[in-house]
Structure 1
Amino acid sequence: MRRFSAIVTVAALSACAPKGELSASNAWVRLPAVSGQPGAAYFTVQGGAAADTLLAVSTPAALKAELHESMKGDHGMMAMAPLKDVAVPAGGKLEFAPGGRHVMLHSIGPAVKSGQKIPLTLSFASGKTLRIEANVVGAGDPAPGS
């Protein structure tokens, strides 16, 4: 019975523990197959103790970055739509991945090559910013971790 009480106590205390800090990880960038076309950035955001909203992503490696989402449109065709912002739930995980949410990177600089790392800065409604390094992969290269 004591063991059961200890388990219940630990579970109750764990539920009351503050959630972690807002963070981002697993960032990577896919270069475009055709020069002059946009590339895409992907990453995971882990929500902190309070809900927040991702407002923008920027990088010095591209002239413009836009939040986007891919979705199935009419007749099963894939379509993309820009996103104004993306809600990050408290303690939740937000994935930016191929076939879903992503960041379109327009006019990636010619010096950016596969195998490099480039910085991404994520800006949130709370005023927080996160800076992460993204691995760069070529258009035909496998995604990191695949």
Structure 2
Amino acid sequence: MRRAIFLGLSALVGTAALTGCSQKPELYAEEGWVRLAAVPGRPAAAYFIVHGGPKPLDLISVSSDVAITSEMHEGGMAMKKVDKVSIPAGGTVAFQPGGRHVMLYDMNPGVKPGRILSLLLTFSDGTRLRQGARVIGAADPAPQGS
């Protein structure tokens, strides 16, 4: 009987220890890519996925060193500019064609398909993340997994 109680308590303590050691979610981005414009001089579009950290944050800007300006937008044909995108704690927010995306204006004309460029994501708490983004041509299929 004592042994059964001891084993039961040991299992309970072990479960509590494992639960206490579970890692909190970490803020990060992945799967970045940029589609170049079909017409020279028009904006490119950037896409990526943001995974929320331990607390909710707002994504307040996305920029690139190869574009003069950038804007976050929502929607496809009837897109609208947004000043922030809420990233829930532990949640996932996708920037993808037809939905949320970043317009990159006045891109450096030397940027060609196959290049990896850098996006800088800035959050409401001052956190900044760098995300690589593979450049594809206007008519190229979206990268796998995006």
Q: Same fold judged by TM-score > 0.5? A: yes
User: Structure 2 residue aligned with 1:63, among 57, 68, 71?
Assistant: 68
Long gaps (5+) in structure 1 = 72-77
Number of the residue aligned with 2:4: none
Identity of aligned residues (%): 49
In our comparison, the structure showing a higher alpha carbon Rg is 2
1:32 aligns with 2:37: yes
CA distance in 1, matches of 2:72, 2:35: 15
What pairs with 1:1-146 in structure 2 (closer than 5 Å)? 10=15, 13-14=18-19, 17-70=22-75, 78-145=77-144
Cα offsets for 1:112-132 (capped at 9, x unmatched): 000000000000001100001
Please give the root-mean-square deviation of Cα atoms over the aligned residues, in Å: 2.3
Kindly indicate whether the alpha-carbon contact (under 8 Å) linking 1:18 and 1:49 is maintained by their aligned counterparts in 2.
no
Q: Which runs of 4+ in 1 moved over 6 A?
A: none
- Residue 17 of structure 1 and its aligned partner are, at CA, apart by 3.1
Q: 1:12 to 1:92 in 2, by over 3 A?
A: farther
- 3-state SS in 2 of match to 1:79: coil
- Residue 21 of structure 1 and its aligned partner are, at CA, apart by 1.4
Q: Which residue identity does 2:124 align to in structure 1?
A: A
CA distance in 2, matches of 1:115, 1:93: 27
For this pair of structures, how many residues does the alignment match? Answer: 138
- 3-state SS in 1 of match to 2:140: coil
